[in-house]
Structure 1
Amino acid sequence: MTDIHFYHLQRQTLEAVLPTLLMKSRERGWRALVKIDSEQRLASLDDHLWAFSDESFLPHGTDREPEPDEQPILLTQGDENRNGAAILFLAEGADPPSDLDRYERVVLMLDGRDEDAVAAARESWRRFRGAGHAVTYWQQDEDGRWQKRG
């Protein structure tokens, strides 16, 4: 079964958290797929990942560019795992694909300031856990460190 991690964003934005998680995924040798529900947000994240830090580089692309299967990090709105990713990031209301077992890990990132997103995440938690997936919840402490809560 796939490990499902819920990251409850309360102190930082998706733009602040996602690059670090993507770097850690790449350090593990994993290819990553990032699914965003909106074309505008996908384009914004694409720009952000190129310029988020002067000291780091995150090679990535979108599924609309040539050879998406060559991208170590691929941004998409679709359900296809076109780059053979081991980890899937779901953000900003993106629905999980029907076959989660093709990933080692799925990370659902939810905006803690959006009550609808929190309610949807609770429902997803119940559904994933009921399907037998290992589900964990991560929340930042006062110092900004991620703490496993469940």
Structure 2
Amino acid sequence: MADAGPEIWFYHLERSTLDQVLPGLLEKTRERGWRALVRAADERLLDDIDERLWIYRDDSFLAHGRASEPEAARQPILLTDASENPNGAQALFIVDDAQLGDTKGFDRCFIIFDGRDDTALQAARVRWKTLKDAGANLAYWKQSPEGRWEKAA
């Protein structure tokens, strides 16, 4: 592969929900010292994620902001429905079938989809094939029966 684009990891949710998985992935991203951009097409989903990141654990929260708010560029985790990367994030999280867009500048992209939703599953399969045909650096993660993430492809 001539283009050394970002790693693009598909996360197939089967046993957990987005609310359960996303905060942990964001924590790991921050532990790497990376900034994150979470892109969703649905404003209500962004509202839900916004609230969840403040309360997902009793002893902690994930500092974040919205792209539409002041100081967006300073946020370690930024929630958006736009294609820009105002906080210079190294990690891009795609939820609810939002557009992947240009991945230049990202080290890793996460495409998180609900495998219990036939429409989301079909869209992820099409996206995988399109990216594979384009020579993208792909990985596919699924949950074991115990709920651990295992690399399947």
Q: Normalising by the residue count of structure 2, what TM-score does the alignment of the two structures yield?
A: 0.95
Aligned to 2:127: 124
Secondary structure of the residue aligned to 1:147 is strand
Secondary structure of the residue aligned to 1:30 is coil
1:39-82 deviations in whole A, cap 9, x for unaligned? 11111110111001012221100111111000000000000001
Task: Report whether the alignment pairs 1:45 with 2:56.
Answer: no
Aligned to 2:146: 143
13-22 or 55-64, larger mean C-alpha shift: 55-64
Q: Mind listing any 5+ residue stretches in structure 1 that lack a counterpart?
A: none
Task: Report whether the alignment pairs 1:56 with 2:60.
Answer: yes
Q: Mind listing any 5+ residue stretches in structure 2 that lack a counterpart?
A: none
The whole-number CA distance in structure 1 between the counterparts of 2:85 and 2:132 is 23
Secondary structure of the residue aligned to 1:102 is coil
Task: Report whether the alignment pairs 1:80 with 2:84.
Answer: yes
Secondary structure of the residue aligned to 1:100 is coil
- Runs of 4 or more, structure 1, over 4 Å off, are none
The whole-number CA distance in structure 1 between the counterparts of 2:121 and 2:152 is 16
Q: Output aligned runs, 1:9-28, within 5 Å.
A: 9-28=13-32
The whole-number CA distance in structure 2 between the counterparts of 1:111 and 1:103 is 23
Q: Shift of residue 131 of structure 1?
A: 1.6
123-132 or 140-149, larger mean C-alpha shift: 123-132
Secondary structure of the residue aligned to 1:4 is strand
Q: Normalising by the residue count of structure 1, what TM-score does the alignment of the two structures yield?
A: 0.97
* Counterpart residue identity of residue 116, structure 2: R
Secondary structure of the residue aligned to 1:127 is helix
1:73-107 deviations in whole A, cap 9, x for unaligned? 0000000001000010000111111x212211110
13-22 or 125-134, larger mean C-alpha shift: 125-134
* Counterpart residue identity of residue 144, structure 2: D
* Counterpart residue identity of residue 121, structure 2: V
- Over the matched positions of the two proteins, sequence identity in percent amounts to 48
Secondary structure of the residue aligned to 1:101 is coil
* Counterpart residue identity of residue 152, structure 2: R
Task: Report whether the alignment pairs 1:108 with 2:107.
Answer: no
The whole-number CA distance in structure 2 between the counterparts of 1:15 and 1:36 is 13
The whole-number CA distance in structure 2 between the counterparts of 1:104 and 1:126 is 21
Q: Shift of residue 135 of structure 1?
A: 0.5
